[in-house]
Amino acid sequence: MGMTSLILLSLCLLCWRDSLGQTDDPPQVKEAQVGETIALHCRSDKDGESNNKTLEWHIKKNTEKVIYRRGPDGLSEQDHELGERMSVDEHFTLKITNIRVQDEMIFICRVQDTKELWEHTVQLFVFKKPEPPEIVMTESNFRSTNDISELGSCTSVNGYPLPSITWYKNGIPLRDEQDKVVISSSVTEESSGLYTIKSMLSSSLQEDDDKAEIYCEVSYKSSTGHHMMESETKNITVLYPSRSVRLYQSFPAGPVKEGDNVKLKCEGDGTNPLDITYKRKDEEDSLGDGPFMILEKVTRSSSGTYECTGMDFDSSDQIMTAETELQVHFLDQPVFSQMSPIIVHPGDHLSVSCEANSSVEAETQWKHKGHIIAENSFLTLSHLTHAMSGKYTCAISLPSVPGLNVSKDLEIIVKGKPELSVSTKSIYVQENNTVNVTCKALGHPKATITWSANGTTSVITEGPEITSELSFKVTPELLDIGVVICKASNKMGNSEEKIQLYQSTPPISATTSSDMLTTPISENNTDVHRGGSHGVLIVVVIICILLLAILGAVLYFLYKKGRIPCGRSAKQDITKPGEKEQIVVEMKPDSPAEESVLLPGGQEKKPPGDQGEKYMDLRN
């Protein structure tokens, strides 16, 4: 019986009972999932006063049946259909465990005493979520045809109430359409009361249906509303004949260079399998067959036009061909205009070209000691020196073909007598100190270094450059000579450099031997030595001034004691203490450096004309 019929039947029973004067509650709807436990309450206003009344639970499907009765005399009847799944508590609440589909029916609670009859009706609806839909295609490939053929089926099992299935193609729902789409369904009711639904899809297929996405959807109802589940998606492959083929380079994606493996692929514009063969244009020998061809470790001779031929035996005997052009890029080793090594002399000029045969335009760079010195095929060097000797690298690349580049080294040798350099041209030293100086020689052939001073030497060689370090003790003989000479020699000649030695004056303050360091003197600043002499002169002047001050103090002391005469014209007068003190300085023409000090008071003075003397009056 359908759900609608059960509801109508419940309403009819209520109307009939109301005509008898009985009291009823409005019908109640209860929903449950298969396997759940439910409780149906009997809403009697006289709960707890059951001594003089009869309590009953009824079920009704096609007919009404008492499943539980309890009266003044106790329990008299209990349904065996629900069995142990049913129980009634002291409040007359009916509890049913492990709900089944068969439990979907009307439950009636009836309470009767000597005065009235009271009923409460509950309509129970049961739901079961179906299993996810499963889609099965009848074929893996389908041929293009106007005839309708079965494509696949969609099945969903164990659902309640009966679910429904909808088909989709490329996200659009399918409906029955004459001569195009036919959808048929079959329903099976299991012994459990659950439903299994199976839907079959049949359709005609055209070329544009190739790669179409097909899936199905099952819709069902539960206590929480309407829901749906989708199946997995299947892709339809529609087979139809090709009208043409195309041949293209599948690998590598970019330019091809010598040594690469090349994959050529031939495809038709249809989906029917093709019989494909490959060859070079205007040649008869086959290079292979199948959907693709591999050319291993291609060379420049592999460049040219390639051709594929395709035939579809299932549809027609038409022969289809296609072509593609293959270019294999190459770059040969560089060639110099002069053989390496190139020997030149200091001051010479040199120009060398670097060329390489290539498939497209190339770029050239010259590098020396990690630096780019030219960006064309010509290397031009002017006023060559020993420092410009060494390896020059010519690097050539093809900008349009990534990864294709070559390089070659050119050695240039500047042949001549050594070029010398020293760590300093002059140095500030003290006797018995130990001094370290360095001398570097650059030349070809490799030079040898000798020193004019005796000491300990250490030599380091790096390519054409040789470095010698001399550690020597400053002796009086070296100070007399005043110079240390570094000399470098090879087959092409000799070179020498001098290091001037300047002796320093020890400082007056006490110092340790470690303070007496040697100080190099700038080649362009000779004032350092003169500055040292000025310092000595200042010290001498200060000492002289101090000695003169001490001498003056001694003389003044002796003068006070009266042990020094005042001079030829000086007299002492101590009988006139009240007179103002006077000082007269005597200056003699014949002896300007001699001075006389005259006593103050009424000293007797001679006229300036006497004895040819001159006086300067210094009185205030």
Domains identified in the chain and CATH numbers = 28-127 (2.60.40.10), 134-239 (2.60.40.10), 245-326 (2.60.40.10), 335-414 (2.60.40.10), 419-503 (2.60.40.10)
**Helices (H), ranges, 490-611:** 527-560
Please list, in sequence order, all residues whose beta carbon lies within 8 angstroms of the beta carbon of residue 505, skipping any fewer than 6 positions away.
532, 535, 536
- Burial of 590: CB neighbours in 10 Å, binned 0-12, 13-18, 19+: exposed
Cα–Cα distance measured from residue 579 to residue 600, given in angstroms and rounded to the nearest whole number: 8
Cα–Cα distance measured from residue 376 to residue 363, given in angstroms and rounded to the nearest whole number: 7
Closest C-alpha to 248, from 311, 328, 319, 323 = 323
CA distances to 136, 148, 281, 309 from 278, rounded to whole Å, are: 39, 39, 9, 7
Q: Determine which helix (DSSP H) or strand (DSSP E) holds 14, and give its type and residue range.
A: helix 3-19
Q: Give the DSSP letter string of 434-487.
A: EEEEEEEEEEESPPEEEESS-SEEEEEEETTEEEEEEEEE--HHHHHH-EEEEE
Give the mean pLDDT of the chain: 82
- For 276-303, the pLDDT digits (tens) are 999 999 999 999 999 999 999 999 999 9
Residue indicated by tokens 């140095």: 427
* Position 294, amino acid: I
Confirm if 139 and 237 have CB atoms less than 8 A apart. no
Cα–Cα distance measured from residue 260 to residue 296, given in angstroms and rounded to the nearest whole number: 7
Q: Which two tokens stand for residue 373?
A: 């010195």
Confirm if 449 and 439 have CB atoms less than 8 A apart. yes
pTM of the predicted model, to two decimals? 0.54
**Bridge pairing between strands 94-96 and 38-40:** antiparallel
Intervals of the chain under pLDDT 50: 1-21, 45-48, 508-533, 567-620
- Burial of 114: CB neighbours in 10 Å, binned 0-12, 13-18, 19+: exposed
Cα–Cα distance measured from residue 556 to residue 538, given in angstroms and rounded to the nearest whole number: 27
Q: What is the pLDDT of residue 276?
A: 94
Cα–Cα distance measured from residue 385 to residue 583, given in angstroms and rounded to the nearest whole number: 83
- For 545-590, the pLDDT digits (tens) are 999 999 988 888 888 777 665 544 444 443 444 443 343 334 344 4
Cα–Cα distance measured from residue 51 to residue 69, given in angstroms and rounded to the nearest whole number: 13
* Position 236, amino acid: I
